[in-house]
Structure 1
Amino acid sequence: MLKKGSKLNSILTGSCPRCHSESMYVAKNPYTFGKTLKMHDHCSHCGLKYHMEPSFFFGAMYVSYAVNVALGIVVFLIANLVFRTGMVSAFVWIFIVLVVLMPVILRWSRTLYINMFVSYDPTAGK
């Protein structure tokens, strides 16, 4: 589906940003509560250390904020323009969608953040 080597592949699959060979996360399913953000220390294929420095993923909070705002705007527009709901109903839908997608958004944010600093290397791990 997604071509190995594209940033989108790594972001959507949660795979190592350098080699795209394995998942960065211990549990594949983001809804495995307690393990949503549990990551391997490093990639077993290319050796990339995921926690490059202490508090590396602190910056992912800003990415998460941006993703949540963008998703909230989309849900608001769909609820308000397509389904013609009232303002309160639209905000209830935003709340529901953001709560349900919270584990996925948390992972996407971390994956987006690490992909800002690490590029795909087809020779990694060989």
Structure 2
Amino acid sequence: MQPIQSSALASLAQRCPRCHQGPLFTHGAYNLAHFTDMPEHCPVCGQAYEPETGFYWGAMYISFAFSTGIMLVVGVLLYYFAGDPDTWVYVSAVAVATVLLAPLSLRYSRTFMLYLFGGISYDPDWANHAPVRRRG
């Protein structure tokens, strides 16, 4: 498989930040028993996916931003296309949308956390360099 050259596109495809080929997750997003499962290392280049213990705790803030965005988008859509319905309609629609999009929100929050704060950069010549391993 050819690596994705753009880091932005590789993050959207949820690929390894170092080689842009290995998947970040082992199962599909809507496999509800295993949607959070990540391998310890990239199956292609061997890069560690957890730079330090507890690294993904920070992804909660990114996930919160996604949930806030979902709430705003659903609220604006309801306001303009449903004629400003009752409050219970807003609450129900936001709750349903947030629950349905939760697996994607969690996965993308972890992906963006790794890409933005993991200290791993794309290396097109990764086969000739040793991966950065987690200490400890």
Map of 1:69 onto structure 2: 68
Give ranges in structure 1 of 5+ residues lacking alignment. none
Q: Structure 1's 84 and 119: CA in aligned 2 closer, same or farther, altered over 3 A? A: farther
Bigger mean CA offset, 108-117 vs 82-91 = 82-91
Residue 91 of structure 1 deviates from its aligned partner by 2.2
How far does the alpha carbon of each residue in 1:20-69 deviate from its partner, in whole angstroms, 9 at most, with x for none?
A: 10211111x11112211110111122221001111010100111001110
AA of the residue aligned to 1:119: S
What TM-score, normalized to structure 1? 0.88
Per-residue deviation at 1:98? 0.5
3-state DSSP class of the match of 1:125? Answer: helix
Q: Give the count of matched residue pairs.
A: 123
Deviant stretches of 4+, over 3 Å: none
Using the alignment, how far apart are the partners of 1:79 and 1:18 within structure 2? Answer: 41
Using the alignment, how far apart are the partners of 2:107 and 2:72 within structure 1? 20
1:80 aligns with 2:79: yes
Checking the alignment, whether the CA contact within 8 Å between 1:76 and 1:94 is kept in structure 2 is: yes
CA distance, structure 2, for counterparts of residue 90 and residue 6 of structure 1: 38
TM-score in terms of structure 2 length = 0.82
Do 1:47 and 1:125's aligned partners in 2 also have CA atoms closer than 8 Å? no
Q: Is the 8 A contact 2:7 2:20 kept in 1?
A: no
Give unmatched runs, 5+ long, in structure 2. Answer: 129-136
Root-mean-square deviation (CA, aligned residues, Å) is 1.6
Identical residues among aligned pairs (%): 30
2:46 partner amino acid: G
Does the 8 Å CA contact 1:7/1:17 hold for their aligned counterparts?
Answer: yes
Match of 2:111 in 1: 111
Give the structure with higher Rg (CA).
2
